[in-house]
Chain A
Amino acid sequence: MDLRDFYSRLSVDESLAEVMGYNPYYQKIDSGLNARILVNGHEMIDLASNNYLGLAADNRVKQAAMEAIKKYGVSLCGTPIATGYIDLFQRLEKKLSHFVGLEETIILPSCYQANNGLFNCIAGPKDLIIVDRLVHSSLIEGIKSTGSKIRPFLHNNLEHLEGILQRSIGYRQVFVVTESVFSTEGSIAPFKEIVQLCEKYEAMPIIDDSHGIGVLGKSGRGILEEQRIAGYRGIYTASLGKAIANSGGMISGEKKLINYLKYYCSHLVYSTALTPAVLAGISEVLDIIHSEFSEIKEKLINKQRQIYKALLEGGFKVVSSEAPINSIQTGSKEATFILNRKLYEKGILSTPFIEPAVPINEGRVRLIASVSLSQDTVDEAVAIIKRIGHS
């Protein structure tokens, strides 16, 4: 192999960043997620992280993580099937199962890994996977690894989904895959209806609740609670790095499924277990949600609304959302970068989405107002947004 050829094939298209004189990716953060954050040494307002409930730098969560380190050290240096399965891990599996109301749970190092690893354990070439057109890349990659027939349906479109289900004859198994909150849009899936369609056509529903867990439902238990889906018999995955403010990914469902994955999901079996600090951090966050969710949620909605109003007043094309996400429709990737840069220059960190993270020419700039923002900070963000809108 010619090494020069090899490396020359690995070029990254940075033309857009060069033209703009600005690259929004891999910005260096010099602080934790406090009321203000430090980005490249400058104080900024964080409207970019997924720290919805503002618990990532909460003192109680930090304390719990430190206690765990004191007791167990920083790592058990083993996968869950070996030395990684400490009592904290086992208790957290139970706690998470109870939290989302499902029988059993496994915990992986990330939800990306969970979504990548799940599908080839349960599906193969004789199966059909029907998937919402806008799902996260981790699901798409997992689905593609199965060799199953893949049929995307139009985003949140029940009619299109039912049409496909009606014509899905002759497969060994049929799966329907979607997300609860689509985080680039803030749209929420009509999951209750999707589950009903799955029952009618004997398909297995799979939901990724990464942006719903800790946010949706009257006590923060996610999409199943929000849409009052009782006796869910499908599969559930979620990230523990967003509202749950730590890291990791969970897969929950019936005992039979989880027990199978415990032995056959290589993404779990062959990867070092989450560390004690993280396990304890997640557990503490669940306790805080249990006792304070309604107050925290009220603050979250309040901050989101203030930003939403400012965006409307600034004349931005903003998607109205039931989730605590503000998504500005910017269109082309150039326009997306320009708005993201303007916000950055005025002191707001936001998240730009361009293809392939979103369909081509459907660029978005996303703003999430975490509960950790003080009212002063929100006021300042509001003023900046209006000023940019009117300029």
Chain B
Amino acid sequence: MKMEDRIIMTIQSVLDKRPVITLDSHLLEDLRVDSLDKLMILSALEDEFAITISEDDFADVVTIKDIVMKLKGRGFFAGGTAPI
């Protein structure tokens, strides 16, 4: 599975009762994510990819694509790719 899809699937699993998520989904406007949802998303991503994320790292994300970029860009994955 592509890393993007894995991220979307992980986020969808903790946002119940929400519309279908795409890379362009806005966390606030489309998915109505509040601060606890955001923590839940970070936890789910930490578990899925066996990484540690701090809240501050994700303070400025607006869309799902931003999350993908963060995960790729911040070297959360060895060598910049997902350990899949």
Identify the stretch in B4-12, B30-38, B59-67, B75-83 within 8 Å (CB) of chain A at 4 or more residues: B30-38
Are B40's CB and A361's CB within 8 A? no
**A362 CA to B37 CA in the complex, in Å?**
14
Identify the stretch in A51-59, A146-154, A211-219, A221-229 within 8 Å (CB) of chain B at 4 or more residues: A146-154
Nearest B residue (CB) for A130: B43
Are B32's CB and A359's CB within 8 A? yes
Which of A151, A160, A359 sits near B34, CB closer than 8 Å?
A: A359
Q: Would A133 and B36 be within 8 Å (CB), given that A154-B14, A154-B16 are in contact?
A: yes
Most buried by B among A160, A167, A355, A359: A359
Q: Would A360 and B43 be within 8 Å (CB), given that A154-B14, A154-B16 are in contact?
A: no
Q: Would A164 and B43 be within 8 Å (CB), given that A154-B14, A154-B16 are in contact?
A: yes
Are A152's CB and B32's CB within 8 A? no
Are B43's CB and A151's CB within 8 A? yes
Within 8 A of A (CB), among B35-54: 36-37, 39-40, 43, 47
Q: Which residues of B contact A356 (CB under 8 A)?
A: 34
Q: A163 in the interface, Cβ–Cβ < 8 Å?
A: yes
Which of B14, B16, B34 sits near A355, CB closer than 8 Å?
A: B34
Interface residues on A, range: 10 to 19
Q: Interface digits, A150-175 against B, CB 8 Å rule (1 contact, 0 not)?
A: 11111000001001100100000000
Are B32's CB and A150's CB within 8 A? no
Are B39's CB and A152's CB within 8 A? yes
Q: Would A360 and B34 be within 8 Å (CB), given that A150-B39, A151-B39, A154-B16 are in contact?
A: yes
Are A360's CB and B32's CB within 8 A? yes
Q: Interface digits, A354-366 against B, CB 8 Å rule (1 contact, 0 not)?
A: 0110011110000
Nearest B residue (CB) for A362: B17
Q: A140 in the interface, Cβ–Cβ < 8 Å?
A: yes
**A340 CA to B34 CA in the complex, in Å?**
24
Nearest A residue (CB) for B40: A152
Q: Which residues of A contact B43 (CB under 8 A)?
A: 151-152, 164
Q: Which residues of A contact B40 (CB under 8 A)?
A: 133, 151-154
Which of A163, A360, A361, A362 sits near B47, CB closer than 8 Å?
A: A163
Are A152's CB and B34's CB within 8 A? no
Nearest B residue (CB) for A163: B47
Q: Which residues of B contact A163 (CB under 8 A)?
A: 47
**A272 CA to B14 CA in the complex, in Å?**
42
Cβ of B45 to closest chain A Cβ, rounded Å: 12
**A355 CA to B35 CA in the complex, in Å?**
12
Q: Would A167 and B34 be within 8 Å (CB), given that A133-B40, A150-B39, A151-B39 are in contact?
A: no
Nearest A residue (CB) for B31: A360
Cβ of A160 to closest chain B Cβ, rounded Å: 8
Q: Which residues of A contact B36 (CB under 8 A)?
A: 133, 140, 152
**A164 CA to B14 CA in the complex, in Å?**
12
- 5 sampled A-B residue pairs with Cβ under 8 A: A133-B36, A140-B36, A150-B39, A152-B36, A167-B47
Contacts from A to B (Cβ < 8 Å): 133, 140, 150-154, 160, 163-164, 167, 355-356, 359-362
